[in-house]
Structure 1
């Protein structure tokens, strides 16, 4: 039976379920937000207590409530902090819903001035209305791998560099699925990735739960279907370009960025998240990179990599995604 395409509402519910029960998205968002918060703190003496986040794929906006809360804890009624989020989205309806969700949440923090500007993906950006001395943070969470060719990735990184951001946060799924690899290689890597994702749900939800079935069918199932359709129709350019951390590192460095150390606070936060989200399988915390893509053992794990300049979330012997922070070499 051919799986029906989920409605936008069904996909949203499945995403919400996975966000709530698994550390997968929360690890990416909380670690990225900690790096952004630290960039803001480094510039507090000159940024007029203003920060501008440019999010190249804002999606449902689930990343930003935790940053709003963290910034509010640093603000007072007489010394408010200004947070502007410029978010790119795939359609106008989703952008409007995301704006409504974030604006509503921010109203609970009177010492924070919040502003959201939604733009459609692919929009020509002429003026991002940068304020004088504000901290500029660029958020590239699971975005670059969706671009149709490596030239567009290069153009995007060139544009990001031209913004002279204080920090660029990069989050990418780990893999070896690029158009230059053979079909068998891409298929095998995809098989191992989705096997790890499905297995990791054992640690989050009972096998027969409605939430788990929704995640498997409406979220992971859709991703598998889209991948197979692209393979079958030879739409190689439309396939997500999942690469190892080392490949993204080389690409960032080639575009004039230098990696920042992931702070000890971010590492502690990531480990605490796993303690709260791990239910049945033992956790593992590692400091050294593994040449085979992950260490042995069971359950979720956090691994510090690239001499502390990247941190990965893994399941058993496979890295799932990696967070790294960058800044233009010219600003150092």
Structure 2
């Protein structure tokens, strides 16, 4: 949702906008975005959203993209926003321009929310998947590319500096949880077990290609 402000700015003076989201997750970001578009002065632009999801993900196997699309379409209809949803079932590294159905006359916005850090770069392999993806995206000539990531280096650091970085970063995360949710909260336990614990184990206990959570600082 942090990118929505910039996306709304990109809507100015546009009649048709196409957003490509490389990790749409549950689509919550676009509930807020559609609500914001409905409040814009004048006639809202036509919004076309392409959501990408790994065909092997649990969400996809449970019909996730179709369910997300239907939910967003119903919301847009209620709020009077012209809306289309396009589902792409593909691994991010295998996405090609032909899958994205970019059309002339549309302002293109590409959204990377907590996605790029999962893409291996030159520190892992001579095949730099992250660079290939970004080059492909730039070839589409987007009006805006939004990137949301954690500002911490867990990609190229050796073990001890990586451990210190992770300790400092996740200490702040847990302090935030302490301020908002009691420790016996089921929601908090779900977040800690299913998200934070998995990420921390991967960052601290794995090396080389086994590291999936490859966060980097903003300057990198």
Q: Which residue of 1 aligns with 2:27?
A: 61
Q: What is the match of residue 177 of structure 1?
A: 154
CA distance in 1, matches of 2:170, 2:96: 36
How many pairs does the alignment contain? 206
Paired residues of 2:154 and 2:203 also in contact (CA < 8 A): no
Gaps of 5+ in 2: 123-127
Q: 2:5 aligns with which of 26, 34, 44?
A: 34
Cα distance, 1:130–1:239 mapped onto 2, change above 3 Å: closer
Specify whether residues 208 and 154 from structure 1 end up closer, same or farther in structure 2 by C-alpha distance, changes over 3 A only: same
CA distance in 1, matches of 2:95, 2:212: 24
> Structure 1 CA distance, aligned partners of 2:31 and 2:39?
13
Question: How far is 1:149 from its partner?
Answer: 2.5
Change (3 A) 1:121 1:105: farther
Question: Please, what TM-score do these two structures have when normalized by structure 2?
Answer: 0.84
- Which sections of structure 1, spanning at least 5 residues, go unmatched? 1-28, 248-332
Deviation at 1:212, TM superposition (A): 1.8
Task: Tell me the residue number matched to 1:209.
Answer: 185
1:196 corresponds to: 172
Distance 1:124 1:62 in 2: 23
Give the equivalent residue in structure 2 for 1:277.
none
Match of 1:73 among 39, 48, 59: 39
Residue 163 of structure 1 deviates from its aligned partner by 0.9
Instruction: Pick one of 71, 74, 77 that aligns with 1:104.
Output: 74
* Moved beyond 3 Å, runs of 4+: 225-229, 234-238
In the alignment, is residue 158 of structure 1 matched against residue 135 of structure 2? yes
The superposition leaves residues 43-101 of structure 1 with CA deviations (integer Å, 9 ceiling, x where unpaired) of: x1xx4x1110011111111111111111112266xx45211111111233332232233
Task: Provide the residue aligned with 1:138 in structure 2.
Answer: 110
- The CA distance in 2 between the partners of 1:240 and 1:226, in whole Å, is 7
- Paired with 1:106 and 1:200, the residues of 2 have a C-alpha distance of 33
Give, in whole Å, the separation in 2 of the partners of 1:154 and 1:237. 19
